[in-house]
């Protein structure tokens, strides 16, 4: 793309005396085109054409400079060859998609945020699974046979031990709505509200994950902005939003956001946040920072983990109570009790306090992502 600018400048400039004026004019149009192209691509082309056809459109636009030079026969020949190549590529892409669909992919689409796929897969231990992938990330895995998967989305029954009467529940991040649906089943009298940034993800959950069967309200938009506009107080707020792969939106991890959540909790209300990290050794810097920041807003904190080895990446659940009263967890089910970890057992000396003006999540998570990505890539290949 950068090579096109000097070529256009040469074609556009006839006299050396006016090259500065012409260069400035071309630069202005170049900048204007970048701005318009960015917004059209992000808010229109990708959603309505898809990323592949957007690239085809860009390729065709780049052919236009051919009309400014060369003989008409060469122009037509080049255009015909390029269009022929694009058509063949498009047909190959469609054929490849059909081939994948005949295997285990049952849905594919693109939104302003993600490439959305729904896959059906069979596991010898877990049975028939339905998986929601956003880009390359498996954001939700549900059993079509009703089996327990022993993942973090099945932790919802435990919260009645923290607060008896759960009347209002707020979930940050929808996905397939596994968490929200679990809350609705366990606490049928509670109002469940979900903050989801992508309407197409919610539509996918309705079409392929039975969301229409549940009386769950969805608010579209960024969760932090939605909470700032929300004047209600909740018994439980569950944070389950991801950026890409295993990274969290940084502005949902800071002390300022935790304080905002606390302001929207009733007395004795619960804030729960789910993320992936190791608990000890080299890959635990993100966990230490999350816990260190969390404690400043919620001194009364509890930890549940879905993993057996402390130095391996796993789902970590931080539970903060908006009360000084300690919670007695002796009566919880053995399965949950085995996942409980005392917060005082973990050092946070190397962790950072995450703030709105300094939350370097990419640096904190880089060793974790490096070690976790290879195993996750193999999993992604198996289900795709």
Strand 168-172 to 191-196 pairing: parallel
Report d(CA 111, CA 292) in Å as an integer: 35
Q: Residue 100's Cα: distance from chain center in Å?
A: 24
Report d(CA 300, CA 373) in Å as an integer: 33
* Of 302 and 378, the one with more pLDDT: 302
Per cent of the chain over pLDDT 70 is 84
What is residue 92's predicted lDDT score, i.e. its pLDDT? 60
316 in Cβ contact with 240 (< 8 Å):
no
Q: Residue 171's Cα: distance from chain center in Å?
A: 14
Residue 288 has pLDDT above 80, yes or no: yes
What is residue 100's predicted lDDT score, i.e. its pLDDT? 46
Give the number of other CB atoms < 10 A from CB of residue 340: 15
Report d(CA 138, CA 116) in Å as an integer: 10
Average pLDDT over residues 186-198: 96
Which pLDDT tens digit goes with each residue over 15-57? 667 778 878 888 888 889 889 888 888 778 877 777 777 887 7
What is residue 226's predicted lDDT score, i.e. its pLDDT? 96
Which pLDDT tens digit goes with each residue over 133-166? 998 788 888 998 878 888 899 999 999 999 988 9
Residue 94 has pLDDT above 60, yes or no: no
Report d(CA 176, CA 116) in Å as an integer: 11
What is residue 357's predicted lDDT score, i.e. its pLDDT? 93
Residue 296 has pLDDT above 80, yes or no: yes
Paired with 361 in beta bridges are none
Per cent of the chain over pLDDT 90 is 48
- Strands laid side by side in the 314-321 sheet: 217-220, 191-196, 168-172, 234-239, 265-277, 314-321, 301-306, 340-341
SS (H, E, C) the chain: CCCHHHHHHHHHCCCHHHHHHHHHHHHHHHHHHHHHHHHHHHHHHHHHCCHHHHHHHHHHHHHHHHHHCCCHHHHHHHHHHHHHHHHHHHHHHHHHHHHHHCCCEEEEEECCCCEEEEEEEEECCCEEEEEEEECCEEEEEEECCCCCCCCHHHCHHHHHHCCCCCCEEEEECCCCCHHHHHHHHHCCCCEEEEEECCHHHHHHHHHHCCHHHCCCEEEECCHHHHHHHCCCCEEEEEECCCCCCCCCCHHHCCHHHHHHHHHCEEEEEEEEEEEEECCCHHHHHHHHHHHHHHHHHCCCEEEEEECCCCCCCEEEEEEEECCCCCCCCCCCCHHHHCCEECHHHCCCCCCCCCECCECCHHHHHHHHHHHHHHHHHHHHHHHC
What is residue 23's predicted lDDT score, i.e. its pLDDT? 80
Among 63-67, 199-203, 280-284, where is mean pLDDT lowest?
63-67
194 in Cβ contact with 218 (< 8 Å):
yes
Residue 279 has pLDDT above 70, yes or no: yes
Q: Residue 374's Cα: distance from chain center in Å?
A: 19
Tokens of 34: 């970048």
327 in Cβ contact with 161 (< 8 Å):
yes
- Domain ranges in the chain are 4-99, 120-383
CATH 3.40.50.150, domain 120-383, yes or no = yes
The mean pLDDT value of the chain amounts to: 85
Provide CB contacts within 8 A for 362, sequence distance 6+.
Answer: 247
């Amino acid at each position: 793309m950068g090579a096109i600018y000097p070529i256009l400048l040469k074609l556009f400039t006839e006299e050396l005396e006016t090259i500065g004026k012409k260069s400035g004019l071309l630069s202005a149009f170049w900048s204007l085109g970048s701005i318009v192209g960015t917004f059209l691509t992000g808010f229109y082309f990708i959603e309505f054409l898809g990323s592949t056809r957007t690239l085809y459109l860009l390729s065709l636009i780049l052919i236009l400079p051919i009309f400014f030079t060369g003989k008409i026969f060469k122009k037509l020949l080049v255009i015909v060859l390029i269009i022929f190549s694009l058509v063949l590529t498009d047909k190959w892409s469609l054929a490849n998609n059909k081939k994948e669909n005949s295997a285990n992919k049952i849905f594919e689409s693109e939104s302003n945020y993600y490439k959305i796929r729904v896959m059906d897969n069979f596991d010898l231990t877990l049975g028939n699974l339905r998986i929601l992938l956003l880009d390359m990330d498996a954001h939700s895995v549900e059993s079509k046979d009703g089996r327990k998967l022993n993942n973090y989305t099945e932790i919802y029954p435990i919260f009645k031990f923290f607060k008896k009467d759960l009347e209002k529940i707020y979930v940050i991040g929808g996905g397939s709505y596994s968490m929200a649906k679990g809350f609705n089943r366990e606490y049928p009298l509670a109002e469940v509200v979900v903050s989801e940034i992508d309407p197409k993800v919610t539509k996918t959950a309705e079409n392929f994950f039975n969301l229409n069967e549940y009386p769950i309200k969805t608010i579209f938009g960024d969760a932090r902005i939605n909470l700032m506009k929300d004047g209600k107080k909740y018994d439980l707020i569950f944070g389950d939003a991801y950026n890409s792969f295993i990274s969290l939106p940084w502005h949902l991890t800071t002390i300022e956001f935790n304080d905002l959540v606390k302001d929207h909790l009733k007395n004795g209300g619960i804030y729960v946040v789910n993320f992936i990290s190791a608990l000890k050794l080299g890959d635990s810097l993100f966990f230490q920072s999350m816990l260190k920041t969390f404690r400043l807003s919620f001194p009364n904190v509890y930890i549940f983990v879905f993993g057996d080895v402390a130095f391996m990446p796993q789902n970590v659940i931080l539970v903060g109570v908006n009360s000084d009263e300690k919670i007695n967890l002796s009566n919880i089910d053995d399965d949950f009790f085995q996942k409980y970890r005392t917060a005082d057992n973990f050092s946070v000396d190397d962790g950072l306090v995450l703030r709105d003006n300094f939350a370097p999540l990419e640096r904190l998570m880089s060793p974790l992502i490096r070690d976790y990505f290879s195993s996750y890539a193999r999993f992604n290949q198996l289900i795709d």
